[in-house]
């Protein structure tokens, strides 16, 4: 073993955001996550369950159903039930579940994916004892933060959108014999996908960034950050029981509130994301 | 074990120091980690930072590379202030952390190329540089295998490659041989020696392995609970601590009390104690050795060998520990 003799050509030192370094960290994190079954299995199981298996079962149930949905629909608010009651009886179950009730539940997907990836990216680096190595490299605090953020946000949105495409294909295909037309996406779904889902992904990130500063392991971060899923469960329960009618204006408003919360959390997290803070808690 | 006087210094302190620290202090909620550290390391020099766990060695590296900010004091590394110019500085330094810090889920090549890309290498140069170093460090066969299965020695070598990718001017090595088997330790020590002597690189070596420090370091600095106890060339430190010359005399067995007394009465002898092989004496200088031998022979002892034994780094280190323990009023070796 001999010492290296040649000095490599001087690397370029970009000014402003160092997108090369940011891309390298995102690539590293995603490659590592892709190879981790412990991260991948839960991250993909929920979208598959919610966006493929559930609409499949609902579609098959609707094709076989003989019961009348009108008594159930009469118990939920008029704003939601009236357009569904106007549909033929055999379409009502499919439109109710796949068109409306699943929409808030779907938000678990971007939230969970972003939270799992953020916990791996922030707390996971500490757990694997790789954080100190990163801190000794010439990357600005802000660039490191952006890399970690994008490394969780982009896959969360991508999984949500790809999952939604799968949902549309499965829901429309299975229900075709009953519906005879494409019924999702409707306007509520489009707002969920394009406006609320990215906001929820950012919220998951914001919470995990805060939690991960203190947590020393991914598991600890997930436990501390797990409470963030509660408002979504409330949203889903509210929608299904009629306590909260998630129609288009409400969805837009909820999305705006989540964006404000998510950005506030993320910006505060960014301010505290310094080498000194991170190195102190390694 | 390396005598402190038997190796020529690798470099002489000259010109501007590559690293200077003045009153560098840092506390954590758990207590003071570094207390008013003053330090100078000259270009091309290997400085060993010695001390037990918790002495402040890693904190020193983090402060000098701009990862931590000092509570008080300041420092300059390669003319830059780590507290305010850390980003620029880290382009010119390389760090081997105590834990290799490799992502187990990535291959060796992926780990190295990620670092190269963060350091600003374009994709092609990153690949070339990685391949070149993997080959030079005999790790090519591991290049595309996940790090998970690598041995501790291979991990250390990979981490060392990562620290060297950009040919840093200053290298911080935090416990480079911890966890290594003897063969891997020998290889890593040889490599560090080559890095210092062949390329004139400034190296700060944090270790609690004194043999390693003795073989590699031009100067040593001993830290204890965040305070610098002593710094300098080992021979100079030894000269400050002991004015005499320790000598081992082989008598073929423990010296009887009468022989020990005869040695004590010889000119220039400061101390004399029986050892399993004979007698250990401390004399004022080499000139007194014939008198010691005459006294021993006169007392009826058969002298098989007389071996001056200048203090080793171990002697220095444990003497410092003993003096600290005495100051603190606790037994030597007890945790303070």
Task: Phi first, then psi: give them for residue A253, nearest 5 degrees.
Answer: -70, -45
Q: Mean pLDDT for chain B?
A: 89
Name the percent of chain A in helix, strand, coil, to the closest 5.
Answer: 80, 0, 20
B87 closest CB neighbour out of A20, A128, A140:
A140
CA dist A238 and A242 (Å) reads 6
A133 near B CB under 8 A: yes
Q: How many H helices and E strands in chain B?
A: 11, 13
pLDDT of residue B179: 81
Q: Chain B residues with CB inside 8 Å of A36's CB?
A: 105
Q: Verify that B51 and B183 share a domain, yes or no.
A: yes
Residue A13: band (very low, low, confident or very high) from pLDDT cuts 50, 70, 90: low
Assigned domain for A59 exists: yes
A17 near B CB under 8 A: no
Q: Verify that B262 and B208 share a domain, yes or no.
A: no
pLDDT of residue B190: 86
Residue A15 has pLDDT above 80, yes or no: no
**B245 or B145, higher pLDDT:** B145
- Helices A197-214, A218-225: axis angle to 10 degrees equals 120
Burial A136-173 (b: 16+ CB within 10 A, else e): bbbbbbebbbbbbbbbbbebbbebbbebbeebbebbbe
Q: Which CATH number fits the domain that encloses residue B36?
A: 3.40.50.300
* Max CA distance (Å), chain A: 82
Residue A5: band (very low, low, confident or very high) from pLDDT cuts 50, 70, 90: very low
Residue A202 distance to chain B (closest CA, Å)? 25
Q: Verify that B264 and B169 share a domain, yes or no.
A: no
Residue A238: band (very low, low, confident or very high) from pLDDT cuts 50, 70, 90: low
Note whether A138 contacts B118, CB cutoff 8 Å: yes
Shortest CA distance to B311 belongs to which of B303, B325, B322, B300? B322
Chain A 101-130, CB below 8 Å of chain B: which residues? 128-130
Q: Verify that B279 and B180 share a domain, yes or no.
A: no
Task: Phi first, then psi: give them for residue B32, nearest 5 degrees.
Answer: -80, 120
List beta partners, residue B198. none
Question: Which residue is associated with the tokens 């004496």?
Answer: B281
Note whether A27 contacts B199, CB cutoff 8 Å: no
Question: Which residue is associated with the tokens 């010119």?
Answer: B92
Q: Chain B residues with CB inside 8 Å of A21's CB?
A: 117-118, 120
Assigned domain for B107 exists: no
Token pair of B70, please? Answer: 């000092």
Task: Phi first, then psi: give them for residue B307, nearest 5 degrees.
Answer: -125, 105
Contact B287/B268 with Cβ under 8 angstroms? yes
Domain that holds residue A258: 43-280
pLDDT of residue A9: 53
Q: In Å, what is the CA distance from A156 to each residue of A112, A117, A169, A198? A: 8, 8, 20, 8
pLDDT of residue A221: 82
Residue B237: band (very low, low, confident or very high) from pLDDT cuts 50, 70, 90: confident
CA dist B82 and B76 (Å) reads 7
Residue A67: band (very low, low, confident or very high) from pLDDT cuts 50, 70, 90: low
Q: Verify that B159 and B300 share a domain, yes or no.
A: no
Least confident of B160-164, B290-294, B301-305, B331-335: B331-335
Q: Verify that B200 and B218 share a domain, yes or no.
A: yes
Read off the pLDDT of each residue in B127-136 and give the average, rounded to a whole number.
94
Assigned domain for A258 exists: yes
Assigned domain for A269 exists: yes
Omega into A185 within 30° of 0, i.e. cis? yes
pLDDT of residue A141: 93
Read off the pLDDT of each residue in A236-254 and give the average, rounded to a whole number.
71
Q: Verify that B197 and B247 share a domain, yes or no.
A: no
Assigned domain for B4 exists: no
Q: Which stretch, A34-48, A85-99, B73-87, B194-208, has highest mean pLDDT?
A: B73-87
Torsion-angle region of residue B281: left (phi > 0), alpha (psi -120 to 50) or beta? beta
Domain that holds residue B178: 19-102+150-239
Note whether A5 contacts B103, CB cutoff 8 Å: no
Q: In Å, what is the CA distance from A134 to each residue of A121, A122, A149, B110, B221? A: 12, 11, 15, 14, 27
Residue A64: band (very low, low, confident or very high) from pLDDT cuts 50, 70, 90: confident
Assigned domain for A35 exists: no
**Which of B31, B101, B204 would best serve as a mutation to test chain A binding (most A beta carbons within 10 A)?**
B101
Assigned domain for B51 exists: yes
Assigned domain for A18 exists: no
Residue A279 distance to chain B (closest CA, Å)? 7
DSSP state of A9: P
Q: What pTM was computed for the model?
A: 0.84
A8 closest CB neighbour out of B97, B113, B125:
B125
Q: Which stretch, A91-95, B196-200, B231-235, B326-330, has highest mean pLDDT?
A: B231-235
Q: Above pLDDT 70, what percent of chain B? A: 94
Query: How many structural domains compose chain B?
Result: 2
- Cα dihedral angle (B96, A35, B150, A7), rounded to 10 degrees? -40
Token pair of B123, please? Answer: 């994709």
Token pair of A41, please? Answer: 């299995």
Q: Verify that B189 and B221 share a domain, yes or no.
A: yes
Read off the pLDDT of each residue in B85-103 and give the average, rounded to a whole number.
95
Residue B144 has pLDDT above 90, yes or no: yes
pLDDT of residue B336: 47
Count CB neighbours of B252 within 10 A.
12
Q: Chain B residues with CB inside 8 Å of A7's CB?
A: 167
Read off the pLDDT of each residue in B12-39 and give the average, rounded to a whole number.
90
Q: Verify that B213 and B283 share a domain, yes or no.
A: no
Shortest CA distance to A159 belongs to which of A233, A54, A52, A263? A52
Note whether A31 contacts B68, CB cutoff 8 Å: no
A132 closest CB neighbour out of B101, B132, B146:
B101
Assigned domain for B288 exists: yes
* Tens digit of each residue's pLDDT (9 = 90 or more) over B4-18: 444 444 545 557 899
pLDDT of residue A210: 82
Residue A4 has pLDDT above 50, yes or no: no
Q: Verify that B82 and B159 share a domain, yes or no.
A: yes
CA dist A250 and A131 (Å) reads 41
What is the C-alpha radius of gyration for chain A, rounded to an integer number of angstroms? 22
Size of interface A-B (CB pairs under 8 A): 125
Residue A7 has pLDDT above 70, yes or no: no
Q: Chain A residues with CB inside 8 Å of B119's CB?
A: 11, 137-138
* Tens digit of each residue's pLDDT (9 = 90 or more) over A114-161: 988 998 888 888 888 999 999 999 999 999 999 999 999 999 999 999
Residue B218: band (very low, low, confident or very high) from pLDDT cuts 50, 70, 90: very high
Assigned domain for B318 exists: no
Assigned domain for B265 exists: yes
Token pair of B34, please? Answer: 């570094």
Assigned domain for B304 exists: yes
Assigned domain for A25 exists: no
A3 closest CB neighbour out of B115, B117, B198:
B198
pLDDT of residue A169: 94
Q: Last residue of some domain: B193, B213, B239?
A: B239
pLDDT of residue B1: 44
**B125 or A15, higher pLDDT:** B125
Q: Mean pLDDT for chain A?
A: 84
Residue B64 has pLDDT above 80, yes or no: yes
pLDDT of residue B83: 96
CA dist A17 and A215 (Å) reads 28
* Tens digit of each residue's pLDDT (9 = 90 or more) over B252-280: 999 999 999 999 999 999 999 999 999 99
Read off the pLDDT of each residue in B193-220 and give the average, rounded to a whole number.
87
Read off the pLDDT of each residue in A181-198 and give the average, rounded to a whole number.
90
Q: Which stretch, A213-227, B63-77, B244-258, has highest mean pLDDT?
A: B63-77
Assigned domain for A157 exists: yes
- Helices A141-179, A108-121: axis angle to 10 degrees equals 150
CA atoms within 13 A on the CB side of A33: 29
Query: How many structural domains compose chain A?
Result: 1
Q: Verify that B208 and B287 share a domain, yes or no.
A: no
pLDDT of residue A219: 81
Assigned domain for A27 exists: no
């Amino acid at each position: 073993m001999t010492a290296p003799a040649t000095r490599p050509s001087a690397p370029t030192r970009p000014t402003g955001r160092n997108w090369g370094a940011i891309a390298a960290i995102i690539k590293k994190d995603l490659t590592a996550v892709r190879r981790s079954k412990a991260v991948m299995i839960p991250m993909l199981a929920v979208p598959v369950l919610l966006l493929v298996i559930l609409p499949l079962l609902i579609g098959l149930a609707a094709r076989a159903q003989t019961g009348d949905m009108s008594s159930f629909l009469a118990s939920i608010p008029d704003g939601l039930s009236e357009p569904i009651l106007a549909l033929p009886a055999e379409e009502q179950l499919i439109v109710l579940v796949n068109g409306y009730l699943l929409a808030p539940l779907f938000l678990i997907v971007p939230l969970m994916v972003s939270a799992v990836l953020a916990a791996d990216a922030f707390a996971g680096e500490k757990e694997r004892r790789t954080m100190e190595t990163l801190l000794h490299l010439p990357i600005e605090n802000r660039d490191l933060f952006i890399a970690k953020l994008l490394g969780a946000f982009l896959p969360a949105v991508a999984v949500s959108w790809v999952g939604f495409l799968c949902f549309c294909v499965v829901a429309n295909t299975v229900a075709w014999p009953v519906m005879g037309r494409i019924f999702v996406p409707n306007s509520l779904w489009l707002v969920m996908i394009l406006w609320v889902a990215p906001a929820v992904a950012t919220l998951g990130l914001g919470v995990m960034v805060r939690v991960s500063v203190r947590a020393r392991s991914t598991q600890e971060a997930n436990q501390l950050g797990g409470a963030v899923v509660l408002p979504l469960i409330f949203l889903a329960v509210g929608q299904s029981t009629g306590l909260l009618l998630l129609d288009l204006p409400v969805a837009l408003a909820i999305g705006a509130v989540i964006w404000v919360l998510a950005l506030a959390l993320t910006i505060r997290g960014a301010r505290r994301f310094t080498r000194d803070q991170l190195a102190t808690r390694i | 074990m390396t005598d402190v006087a038997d190796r020529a210094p690798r470099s002489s302190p000259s010109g501007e120091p590559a690293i200077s620290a003045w009153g560098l202090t840092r506390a954590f909620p758990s207590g003071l980690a570094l207390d008013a550290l003053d330090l100078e390391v000259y270009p091309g020099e290997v400085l060993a930072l010695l001390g037990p766990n918790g002495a402040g060695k890693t904190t020193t590296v983090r402060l000098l590379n701009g990862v931590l900010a000092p509570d008080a004091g300041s420092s300059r590394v390669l003319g830059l202030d780590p507290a305010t110019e850390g980003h620029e500085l880290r382009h010119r330094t390389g760090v081997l952390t105590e834990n290799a810090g490799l992502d187990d889920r990535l291959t060796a090549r992926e780990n190295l190329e990620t670092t190269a890309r963060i350091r600003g290498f374009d994709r092609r140069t990153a690949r070339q540089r990685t391949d070149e170093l993997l080959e030079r460090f005999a790790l090519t066969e591991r290049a595309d295998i996940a790090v998970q299965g690598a041995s501790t020695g291979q991990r250390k070598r990979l981490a060392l490659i990562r620290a060297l990718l950009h040919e840093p001017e200053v290298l911080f090595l935090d416990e480079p041989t911890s966890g290594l088997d003897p063969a891997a330790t020998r290889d890593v020590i040889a490599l560090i020696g080559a890095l210092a002597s062949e390329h004139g690189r400034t190296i700060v070596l944090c270790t609690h392995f004194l043999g390693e420090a003795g073989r590699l370091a031009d100067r040593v600095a001993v830290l204890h609970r965040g305070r610098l106890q002593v710094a300098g060339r080992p021979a100079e430190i030894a000269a400050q601590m002991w004015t005499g010359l320790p000598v081992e005399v082989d008598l073929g067995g423990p010296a009887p009390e009468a022989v020990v007394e005869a040695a004590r009465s010889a000119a220039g002898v400061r101390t004399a104690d029986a050892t399993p092989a004979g007698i250990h004496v401390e004399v004022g200088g080499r000139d007194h050795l014939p008198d010691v031998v005459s006294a021993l022979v006169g007392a009826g002892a058969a002298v098989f060998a007389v071996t001056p034994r200048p203090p080793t780094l171990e002697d220095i280190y444990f003497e410092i520990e003993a003096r600290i323990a005495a100051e603190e009023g606790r037994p030597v070796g007890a945790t303070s």
